[in-house]
Structure 1
Amino acid sequence: MVATNFAPALKCVLVHEGGLDDDPNDPGGRTAYGIIQRRYNQYRRAKGLPVQDVWKISTSERTEIYDVYYWRVIRGDKLPAGLDYAVFDACVNSGEAQAGKWLQRAINDQRAKSGEAPIAVDGRIGDGTLQAVDEIDDVDAVIGFMQQRRLAMLRELRTWRYFGKGWSRRVAEVKKLAQAIADGSVPAPMPAGWVTAPATKVSGKALPSDAKPLPSPDKGVVSSAIGTVSSGASTVTTTLAPAQGMSPTIDLVLQVLLVVGIILGLAGAAWAWWANREAKRMAAALDIGPPPAAGNDNAPPAEAEAA
């Protein structure tokens, strides 16, 4: 755990974040080297400077923003080598709160293997989380768990269709590099200067706010179609019921409608079962859950970053 890890970690982050972007599909909007316009405005105002186009950002400004608004927020100097880079990269791409949750859940995944009690998951990397980090006996494993959870959430974002391929590559490269740097169960040589990932930029901020809507048992195209058809069948049945027995054709129609009603009922039950199961799966991937446990001593995070 050394303070000098910031420089190589930033160099690796910029392998994926380097360049100027204004992709209409990117929720981060106008971006320079991974810094969004809103963050740059915040930085300039804090310095008493007029806001300007983020594409005019200087190298020194970029470095200071990454240090103050990302590295220090995740308390990178207090994290083990390799894990600091993994959390830093996640913070830049998806925000400090989400990066903190991935770290905490990955720690809990590791603690569960040894029967230890879980820590609170609130996205705040405070003293409680750092104490749990100090107790990690396999940093490589925690990095692996963290990247699994990260990729699971990214797959649930509406922007996956635009950036999914690049995100998948980025997550895999961060995992490989971070585990090469870290101590633990993954045998990998320490890379010289940390820079082993290909110099290809992966654009697109991966924000939890861009998640796909969770399916609902009583909402959606399928449930609406079932309701419409079921209502129509019920109306026809009610209309024809008084004529039952008067015509073989009417009797056949009523029998068919009865079968249709049964099928629709089963379809509705199946949809409700699937929607409930899928909503639970997505909620777990998106870290949508109950509030953090009482007594957590993590410090409040800095202003949430939509990046």
Structure 2
Amino acid sequence: MSNNLAQTIKLAFGSEGGWSNHPADPGGATKYGITASTLGVARDLRRKATPDEVRALSLSEAAQILDKQYAQPLRYAELPPGLDYALFDFSVNSGPAQAVRILQRILVVEVDGIVGVKTLNAIRDRNLAGLIDKLQDARLRFLKGLKTWPTFGKGWSIRVEHVRSSALKMAAGISTVAPAPPEGRQTASPRDVKVSSTPAGKGTITATIGTAGAAIGAAKDSLQPLTSNGGFADTMFTVLIAGGVALTVIGLAVVTYQQIRHRETAA
């Protein structure tokens, strides 16, 4: 049973990079591997997310989406290490159903795009390193058949080979590192990702992802209605950032500030 989803998501962030809106990309506006369509579904918008909404996507929310909409349909936690990453990255790149169908053809089981008991049993009967290699070969053949291959083929080839190398290392119990982001994309390098992939619809993120700045900024914004000027809030949050204090301390800062305001009002 796999327990390395956090590492896998970090690797996927590295492969995907940050914000992108390439005119030749059918997915359109994309950030951390999350397209406008995927974000719209995740937020139940009943429409595609706007480019601005995609651009504002946080690493934390992206990780939750990758867990719920990609890892869980793959029954990620039941896959062997290495294959879990290889199938997950393929899924993020080309969709879960497509990735699973190609794996099922390799396994010679019913091709329905759904990871079930028969698929899992067939995986257990195969040589893990050989299966990872065959999946990456099949993935590359699939990508070469896409009309966008002339535009993105070079980057996809590099990505597939990095996934192959990393997945084989993971299968052998060897640590690996995130790849450099694709050319033209921002770096997406979360410092810490802790994810618990549970049955469908119940994925949870159990720790912060990336820098604390965005979360702290949002918390500071929520604090502003308590004061007519942001002096105290700015000072408090600057101290928190500089000191690297855990985000849970923000609650204490809010309570302290409310007490100060209460005393001032009473006076």
> Is the CA contact 1:166–1:203 (under 8 Å) kept in the aligned structure 2?
no
Aligned-partner Cα distance in 2 for 1:157–1:203: 21
> Is the CA contact 1:86–1:175 (under 8 Å) kept in the aligned structure 2?
yes
- 2:137 is matched with which residue? 148
* Residue 85 (structure 2) pairs with residue 102 (structure 1): no
Secondary structure of the residue that 1:168 maps to in structure 2? helix
Aligned-partner Cα distance in 1 for 2:183–2:93: 10
Q: Spell out, residue by residue over 1:124-164, the C-alpha distance to the aligned partner (whole angstroms, 9 max, x if none).
A: 1112111212222x100001111111111111111011001
Q: Shift in Å at residue 84 of structure 1?
A: 0.2
* Residue 5 (structure 2) pairs with residue 16 (structure 1): no
Secondary structure of the residue that 1:73 maps to in structure 2? helix
Q: 1:1-307 maps to which residues of 2 (within 5 A)?
A: 1-2=1-2, 4-45=3-44, 53-107=53-107, 118-136=108-126, 138-183=127-172, 190-192=173-175, 194-195=176-177, 197-201=178-182
> Is the CA contact 2:33–2:92 (under 8 Å) kept in the aligned structure 1?
yes
Secondary structure of the residue that 2:122 maps to in structure 1? helix
Q: Spell out, residue by residue over 1:248-298, the C-alpha distance to the aligned partner (whole angstroms, 9 max, x if none).
A: xxxxxxxxxxxxxxxxxxxxxxxxxxxxxxxxxxxxxxxxxxxxxxxxxxx
Structure 2: segments with no counterpart, 5+ residues: 186-199, 202-267
Provide closer, same or farther for how the CA distance between residues 203 and 38 of structure 1 changes in structure 2, counting only shifts above 3 A: farther
Q: Spell out, residue by residue over 1:42-92, the C-alpha distance to the aligned partner (whole angstroms, 9 max, x if none).
A: 11127xxx9861111122211110000000011110100000000000000
Name the TM-score, length of structure 1 as normaliser: 0.56
Aligned-partner Cα distance in 2 for 1:202–1:176: 20
Secondary structure of the residue that 2:4 maps to in structure 1? helix
Q: Show structure 1 runs of 4+ deviating over 3 A.
A: none
Q: Spell out, residue by residue over 1:92-114, the C-alpha distance to the aligned partner (whole angstroms, 9 max, x if none).
A: 0000111101211222xxxxxxx
Aligned-partner Cα distance in 2 for 1:146–1:11: 21
> Is the CA contact 1:83–1:178 (under 8 Å) kept in the aligned structure 2?
yes
Aligned-partner Cα distance in 2 for 1:122–1:202: 35
Kindly tell me the number of residue pairs found equivalent between the two proteins: 184
Q: Shift in Å at residue 170 of structure 1?
A: 0.7
Q: Shift in Å at residue 202 of structure 1?
A: 6.5
Name the TM-score, length of structure 2 as normaliser: 0.64
Aligned-partner Cα distance in 2 for 1:70–1:42: 13
Q: Shift in Å at residue 180 of structure 1?
A: 1.3
Aligned-partner Cα distance in 1 for 2:182–2:14: 6
Q: Spell out, residue by residue over 1:226-259, the C-alpha distance to the aligned partner (whole angstroms, 9 max, x if none).
A: xxxxxxxxxxxxxxxxxxxxxxxxxxxxxxxxxx
Larger radius of gyration: 1
> Is the CA contact 2:32–2:59 (under 8 Å) kept in the aligned structure 1?
no
Provide closer, same or farther for how the CA distance between residues 200 and 57 of structure 1 changes in structure 2, counting only shifts above 3 A: closer
Provide closer, same or farther for how the CA distance between residues 120 and 203 of structure 1 changes in structure 2, counting only shifts above 3 A: farther
Q: Spell out, residue by residue over 1:203-222, the C-alpha distance to the aligned partner (whole angstroms, 9 max, x if none).
A: 89xxxxxxxxxxxxxxxxxx
For residue 191 of structure 1, what is the amino acid of its counterpart?
A: I
Aligned-partner Cα distance in 2 for 1:101–1:25: 25
Identity %: 40
> Is the CA contact 1:103–1:146 (under 8 Å) kept in the aligned structure 2?
yes
Q: Shift in Å at residue 191 of structure 1?
A: 3.5
Provide closer, same or farther for how the CA distance between residues 22 and 200 of structure 1 changes in structure 2, counting only shifts above 3 A: same
For residue 124 of structure 2, what is the amino acid of its counterpart?
A: D
Secondary structure of the residue that 1:13 maps to in structure 2? helix
Structure 1: segments with no counterpart, 5+ residues: 108-117, 184-189, 205-300, 303-307
For residue 42 of structure 1, what is the amino acid of its counterpart?
A: V
